[in-house]
Chains A and B, each alone.
Chain A
Amino acid sequence: MNNKFQNFEERVQYLKEKAKEVRVNIIDMIFIAQSGHPGGALSAADLMTALYFDILKIDPKNPRWPDRDRLILSKGHACPVWYSCLAMRGYFPMKELKTLRKFESILQGHPDMRKTPGIDMTTGSLGQGLSLGVGMALEGKLVKKNYHVYVILGDGEINEGQVWEAAASASKYKLDNLTAIIDKNGLQMDGFTDKVMPMDPINKKFEAFNWQVMTINGHDMKEILITLEKAKKNKNKPVCIIANTVKGKGVSFMENIRKWHGKAPNQQEYEIAIKEIEENNDEIK
């Protein structure tokens, strides 16, 4: 993807524009469905855009290309961000986005590997994605392929003990083809993560499991790109990128508000949200 740009700035600018489109699609599809999870989809929008429009080695015409990079959205409820990226990359027609959560849609309420082209693994039950990623990364090592496995986790789901079982096993097998990205938006369904179940310091926990840890601003496209490239080159250890994000990022009235975890906007809210995303030309920091 990145060959077509004159310089890094252009590349970043392109991705910022794409991220806007991804956000518009998220709001659009959740509005049409009148159901879904906007908060966690918006917080992951910049990370997912960077992956799907730059970092991932993929071929939308050949979704099961054996050499492709794999992505697992462990926080499966945020799938509108995944579906937006996949549709925009041409895995399926954009019009399918209007069928989110509808009867017999290819876009299930939570991701389904058998129904949606481009979905590498079914997800939706929290705390399991990192284990699934460990299995895929082990497969990559077994068949000696160079693909990379990315797992996007929420900071709430790391409450699950299984995440730490997976962390131990990834380091046992020195899975340097595995990168976990924690979308640390600070909120889970019932409130702020530090109130519901404090998990900080997350970096020290992963370091203690012998992971390479990198911490970034998950909305700073430059930092995202630089860090993802660094993660891909890392050797002998799995990488955990802790991406500090804002839940609901890009729509002012959704930002940092608990109730926007799993709620659809009404007509008026929808219009304001789209306008805000489209008009936002600020340098996001």
Chain B
Amino acid sequence: MKSSKADIATRQAFSERMLEYGAIDKNFVVFEADIGYSTYSYLFGDAYPERYFNMGIAESNTMAAAAGMAAEGRTVIVCGYGVFITMRAVEAMRTFICYPNLNVKFLSSHGGVTPAVDGVTHQATEDIAIMTTLPNMKVLAPADTESAKKIFDVAIKTPGPAFIRLMRDPLFDIYSKEDTFEIAGSKTIREGKDLTVVTYGDIVFQALEAADELKKENISIEIIDMYSIKPFDKKNLLSSISKTEALLVVEDHQKRNGLGYELSNFCLKNKPVIFDNLGLNDTFAESGNYYKIINKYGISKKQIFNKVKELIYKKGGK
């Protein structure tokens, strides 16, 4: 699988597809909380002003009003930054959207430390923990332009609430028009035999770079892009770790209660293997260059490289 530099961020890709889809499905509406020029929801708003509701800088009201409309049977997309919609407005999301299982989808930008320069206030590094805990919620995190667009379609066609984690800045593109995505799906983007790395979103590209370096040392890792975080692809995970007997989960999120915790639990019950996970280690990050931040906080290719070697040594391999 070849990667090339992306022209646009996943938040923009998702919103561009939302605009296109507005002509295909004339029934869904979009709620925004005054960051439309950042989530790119303004594209939809300009084309369909009567289906676009900008509720101002008031996420709780935005969320509950979206719920009120969804209670009428309408599909609603709520746009926002991860930190605000998963924390400030989480109770309305839980009680009025997830509890009655309404058709509301969340365009959640600025996932993980991808808004690196914005600093901690805007970095959603606890969103996966909170969202995966809500009953009925599905959680998706596309890594590139093509998957962001296709995952828009998946989300809108799937009944009930769905949270889609998106990134602030363009990184790389790996998928092509032929690739398909689904709820509880995953993509094995590199095949290997010594260890399985599971990741999602921006860290997919760190894993790919680490794999190239490891290859030079004759270590072959398998990389799974677990873009569907809840529910996740148990089948692909089981078949991969049955082959490699070692698993490393890396994510741009707190280690605690992220995908790493979920998969360690799964492995313990179903297929115990050599395991570790990388993520923010019970800490907040800080402002600065994205690559410097992920390196300092232990989720970059360097830490993946080192951790893979450590785990393989544990496994009794090279």
Binding site for B on A (CB under 8 A): 72, 112-114, 120-122, 124-125, 128, 131-139, 142, 161-162, 165-166, 168-169, 172-173
Contact = CB atoms under 8 A, between A and B. Distances in A.
Nearest to B95: A125
Given A122-B96, A169-B65, A138 B60 contact: no
A135 B66 contact: yes
Contacts of A139: 68-69, 72, 74
A133 to B, nearest CB: 6
A166 B65 CA distance: 8
A120 B71 CA distance: 8
Contacts of A166: 61, 64-65
Contacts of A172: 56
B69 A138 contact: yes
A134 B96 contact: no
Interface of B: 29, 50-51, 53, 55-56, 58, 60-61, 63-72, 74, 91-92, 95-96, 99-101
Given A122-B100, A162-B60, A165-B60, A135 B95 contact: no
B58 A135 contact: no
A132 to B, nearest CB: 4
A142 B72 CA distance: 12
B35 to A, nearest CB: 16
A78 B95 CA distance: 18
A72 B53 CA distance: 21
Nearest to B76: A135
Given A122-B99, A122-B100, A135 B65 contact: yes
A162 to B, nearest CB: 5
A112 B67 CA distance: 14
A120 B92 CA distance: 16
Given A122-B95, A142-B50, A169-B55, A132 B100 contact: no
Given A122-B95, A122-B99, A132-B96, A169 B61 contact: yes
Nearest to A173: B53
A39 to B, nearest CB: 23
Nearest to B94: A125
Nearest to B60: A162
Contacts of B29: 142
Contacts of A142: 29, 50-51
A169 B56 contact: yes
A134 B95 contact: no
B100 A113 contact: yes
A74 to B, nearest CB: 10
A72 B68 CA distance: 10
Nearest to A64: B73
Contact of A121 (B50, B96, B101): B96
Nearest to B68: A135
B92 A128 contact: yes
A169 B32 CA distance: 12
A36 to B, nearest CB: 20
16 contacts: A121-B71, A121-B100, A125-B96, A128-B60, A128-B64, A131-B61, A132-B65, A133-B68, A135-B65, A136-B68, A139-B68, A139-B69, A161-B60, A162-B61, A165-B61, A169-B56
A168 B95 CA distance: 23
Contacts of B63: 131
A112 B29 CA distance: 24
B33 to A, nearest CB: 10
Contacts of B65: 131-132, 134-135, 138, 166, 169
Contacts of A72: 68
Chain A CB within 10 Å — which of B51, B61, B70 has the most? B61
Contacts of B91: 125, 128
Contacts of B92: 125, 128, 131
